[in-house]
């Protein structure tokens, strides 16, 4: 008998792009109502080849009637070996999420779900709210131009490595102390819940890493601020007089493939089974590492990334990721206290 866990969370953000054939109506709710639960049950029993649902469990509150996050165990009584990837691919699931503005995360109901040992994060628009290269570009008056390229790259429309080199070239002449300036003037801000999530994960004994297509000085600052164990990012060349950036990226680019390689290297070094690794990001360059990890989460991600990622979460706070591990609100409070 195969078991899966489904975590349903009300989306805190506007609906993502509709399915190819938009449903005739949408429904907005304050909680995961009985109507929503019944609709999901129907999806499992009729569309998903007669899968059965066990008892619903509220996560965000003690009461099922006022919960915004709930979980349920899905049972395959036939032991047919159906794969989660197949379950996620059904158009009916995408329509369900769109109609009710709910995110559904499907995972194998195994011991590895709650017992994570390594969590790796993207930095820009994940642990922090900004795209750093766009803020650097503001210093030489090309922010809009660079931001447009960044947006296309994060949607997966451009090759990341080539686009990074072309954007970095526009940074020629930016003062070399720019990273200190960005940290001190409040330009760079942490995503709500970042400190709480990392504190909770450290209490659980997890190793934490930031793997960024951004730049090492900011990645090191994020590592220090959040108590992470590893930080890998790109290095920008500084002029011979030490006064400005040249626009040249030194060494290997931390692109999608490099992120996945670093994830596996850290897991090997720490002796962590890949099934106990979580990868969190928002861009197309995070998809490869999400697939390598035991569990991947696209956080407030671009539509293409949400479509292709192992799971997605649209929330105002990173701490909601803890619900995906099966923790209740009371347990989360204990972890972040």
The residues of the chain scoring below 50 in pLDDT are none
Closest to 51 measured CA to CA, from 101, 99, 6, 114: 6
Provide the residue ranges of all domains of the chain, joining segments of one domain with +.
Answer: 1-109, 112-337
What pLDDT does residue 86 have? 67
Angle subtended at Cα 46 by Cα 60 and Cα 2, rounded to the nearest 5 degrees: 65
Cα separation of 146 and 170, whole Å? 8
What pLDDT does residue 2 have? 67
Q: What CATH code is assigned to 112-337? A: 3.40.50.1000
What pLDDT does residue 156 have? 83
Q: Measure Cα distances from 163 to 183, 219, 250, 255 in Å.
A: 25, 20, 15, 11
Q: Is 229 annotated in the active site?
A: no
Active-site hit among 76, 103, 109, 122: 122
Active-site hit among 76, 103, 109, 124: 124
What pLDDT does residue 13 have? 82
What pLDDT does residue 92 have? 86
DSSP 6: E
Q: Is 159 annotated in the active site?
A: no
What pLDDT does residue 29 have? 92
DSSP 61: S
What pLDDT does residue 12 have? 87
Cα separation of 171 and 167, whole Å? 7
Do 113 and 209 touch, CB atoms closer than 8 A? no
What count of other Cβ atoms lies within 10 Å of the Cβ of residue 122? 27
What pLDDT does residue 109 have? 85
Tell me whether strands 277-281 and 295-299 are parallel, antiparallel or unpaired. parallel
Q: What CATH code is assigned to 1-109? A: 3.30.70.260
Cα separation of 253 and 1, whole Å? 44
What pLDDT does residue 22 have? 72
Cα separation of 237 and 217, whole Å? 12
Give yes or no on whether 1-109 and 112-337 have one common fold.
Answer: no
Cβ burial of 156 (10 Å; 0-12, 13-18, 19+) is middle
Task: Give one DSSP letter per residue of 42-70, joined into a string.
Answer: HIIIIITTT-EEEEEEESSSS-GGG-SEE
What pLDDT does residue 79 have? 63
């Amino acid at each position: 008998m195969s078991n899966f866990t489904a975590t349903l969370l009300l989306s805190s953000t506007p609906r993502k792009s509709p399915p190819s054939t938009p449903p005739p109506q949408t429904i907005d709710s304050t909680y995961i109502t009985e109507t929503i639960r019944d609709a999901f049950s129907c999806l499992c029993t009729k569309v998903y080849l007669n899968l059965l649902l066990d008892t619903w469990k509220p996560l965000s509150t003690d009461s099922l009637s006022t919960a915004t996050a709930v979980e349920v165990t899905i049972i395959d009584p036939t032991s047919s070996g159906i794969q989660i990837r197949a379950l996620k691919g059904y158009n009916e699931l995408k329509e369900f999420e769109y109609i009710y503005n709910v995110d559904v995360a499907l995972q194998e109901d195994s011991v590895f779900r709650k017992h994570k040992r390594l969590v790796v994060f993207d930095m820009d628009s994940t642990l922090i709210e900004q795209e750093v290269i766009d803020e650097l570009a503001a210093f030489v008056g090309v922010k809009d131009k660079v931001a447009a390229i960044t947006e296309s790259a994060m949607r997966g429309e451009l090759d990341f490595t080539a686009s990074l080199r072309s954007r970095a070239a526009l940074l020629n002449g930016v003062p070399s102390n720019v990273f200190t300036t960005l940290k001190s003037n409040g330009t760079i801000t942490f995503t709500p819940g970042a400190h709480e999530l990392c504190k909770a994960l450290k209490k659980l004994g997890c190793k934490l890493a930031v793997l960024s297509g951004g730049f090492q000085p900011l990645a090191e600052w994020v590592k220090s601020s959040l108590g992470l164990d590893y930080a890998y990012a790109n290095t920008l060349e500084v002029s011979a007089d030490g006064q400005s950036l040249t626009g040249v990226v030194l060494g290997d680019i931390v692109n999608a493939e490099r992120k996945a390689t670093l994830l596996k290297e850290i897991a090997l070094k720490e002796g962590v089974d890949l099934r106990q690794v979580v990868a969190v990001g928002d861009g197309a360059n995070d998809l490869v590492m999400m697939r390598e990890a035991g569990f991947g989460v696209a956080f407030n991600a671009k539509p293409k990334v949400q479509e292709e990622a192992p799971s997605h979460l649209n929330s105002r706070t990173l701490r909601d990721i803890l619900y995906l591990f099966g923790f209740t609100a009371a347990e989360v409070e204990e972890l972040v206290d």
